[in-house]
């Protein structure tokens, strides 16, 4: 285990850059103020140490629970207070369809902290020149791409192709995953027709209920940038467990993390 705040700080930077979730526990009150402990997910050894080994074990458990909850905060252990600073794995977004709205959404999502993958079977559109901010570009049919990508329950999927031969295979592939967010672009009429076709293909009502279509919040925007903003806003609301309504009519804390 490595000691020294500077060393741990450098290590955290490396882990965050590698998209590895990590927590840093720092004693802020009590014996050993300033001591740090770097904690990674279960099964991975942490770094740093506390003089009180028993406290270190308890804090390590609490830090892993905080990592799972993705929430930083001060924890009290007897007469000792420890601030657990959580750096969760960044949320990931799969954008299906290398279209104009995708060109607006990708840099916006990156700014919001998402790791972004662009998927499109059309190699002329899915290029680094068109998507310089994308973390990854996959040239493949959407349903094939989902078999190549690791889709976790914290994954977001935005289907922007607006073409049944692309978007419906993408929807079927997306619904086969545990992604927290699946949205598909299109008018209300388009989504009603799409829903009927999906039901006819054997997709259940419960599965279709997972699909957010039309995608995005009701901002009334029409430009690619405005549509991208409405999609990003809906994703942030879902990530934070919020409805996406007006704050003027909301109750409780403004920030989801308190």
Three-state SS annotation for 122-141: CCCCCCCCCCCCCCEEECCC
One domain, residues 77 and 54: yes
| Any domain includes 126 | yes
- From 35, 58, 87, give the residue that closes a domain: 87
| Any domain includes 244 | no
One domain, residues 235 and 203: yes
Please compute, for residue 62, the number of CA atoms within 13 A of its CA located in the half-sphere on the CB side: 21
| Any domain includes 73 | yes
| Any domain includes 246 | no
User: If we measure between CA atoms, which residue out of 40, 5, 25 comes closest to residue 77?
Assistant: 25
CATH number for position 181: 3.40.50.720
- From 70, 87, 104, give the residue that closes a domain: 87
Q: Decide if 53 contacts 27 (C-beta within 8 A).
A: no
One domain, residues 112 and 51: no
Q: What is the pLDDT along the chain (258 residues), one digit of tens a residue?
A: 444 445 788 888 888 888 889 999 999 999 999 999 999 887 556 677 788 888 988 999 999 999 988 899 999 999 999 999 999 888 999 999 999 999 999 999 999 999 999 999 999 999 999 999 999 999 999 888 888 888 888 899 999 988 888 888 899 889 988 999 999 998 889 888 888 988 988 889 999 999 998 999 999 988 999 999 999 999 999 998 888 877 666 666 666 654
Residue 103 lies in domain? 92-239
- Extract the tokens encoding 67: 């990592």
Q: What is the pTM of this model?
A: 0.78
One domain, residues 146 and 206: yes
Q: Decide if 26 contacts 98 (C-beta within 8 A).
A: no
User: How many other C-beta atoms can be found within 10 angstroms of the C-beta atom of residue 99?
Assistant: 21
One domain, residues 105 and 41: no
| Any domain includes 249 | no
One domain, residues 223 and 103: yes
User: How many other C-beta atoms can be found within 10 angstroms of the C-beta atom of residue 2?
Assistant: 13
User: Distance between alpha carbon 55 and the CA centroid of its chain, in Å?
Assistant: 32
| Any domain includes 21 | yes
Contacts of 45 (CB under 8 A, 6+ apart): 1
The tokens 């977004």 sit on which residue?
A: 93
One domain, residues 231 and 147: yes
Domain count, the chain: 2
One domain, residues 169 and 67: no
Q: Decide if 152 contacts 21 (C-beta within 8 A).
A: no
One domain, residues 182 and 222: yes
- Extract the tokens encoding 183: 């949205």
Q: Decide if 1 contacts 53 (C-beta within 8 A).
A: no
- Extract the tokens encoding 77: 């252990």
- From 87, 103, 132, give the residue that closes a domain: 87
One domain, residues 96 and 72: no
One domain, residues 103 and 199: yes
One domain, residues 117 and 160: yes
Contacts of 197 (CB under 8 A, 6+ apart): 164, 168
**Whole-angstrom distance, CA of residue 181 vs CA of residue 51:** 44
């Amino acid at each position: 285990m490595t000691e020294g705040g500077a060393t741990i700080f450098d290590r955290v930077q490396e882990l965050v850059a590698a998209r590895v979730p990590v927590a840093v526990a720092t004693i802020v009150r009590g014996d050993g103020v300033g001591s740090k402990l770097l904690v990674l997910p279960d099964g991975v050894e942490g770094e740093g140490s506390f003089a009180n080994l028993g406290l270190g074990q308890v804090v390590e458990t609490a830090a892993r629970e905080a990592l799972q909850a993705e929430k930083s905060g001060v924890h009290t252990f007897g007469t000792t207070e420890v601030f657990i600073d959580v750096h969760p794995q960044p949320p990931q977004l799969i954008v299906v369809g290398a279209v104009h709205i995708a060109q607006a959404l990708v840099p916006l999502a990156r700014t919001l902290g998402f790791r972004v993958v662009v998927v499109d079977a059309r190699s002329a559109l899915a290029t680094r020149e068109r998507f310089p901010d994308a973390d990854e570009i996959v040239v493949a049919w959407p349903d094939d791409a989902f078999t190549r990508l690791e889709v976790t329950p914290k994954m977001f999927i935005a289907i922007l192709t607006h073409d049944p031969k692309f978007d419906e295979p993408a929807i079927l592939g997306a619904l086969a995953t545990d992604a927290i967010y699946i949205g598909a672009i299109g008018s209300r009429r388009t989504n009603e027709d799409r829903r009927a076709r999906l039901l006819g293909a054997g997709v259940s009502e419960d599965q279709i209920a997972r699909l957010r279509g039309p995608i995005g919040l009701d901002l009334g925007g029409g430009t690619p940038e405005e549509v991208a903003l409405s999609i990003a806003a809906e994703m942030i609301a879902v990530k934070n467990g919020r409805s996406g309504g007006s704050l003027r009519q909301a109750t409780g804390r403004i920030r989801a993390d308190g």
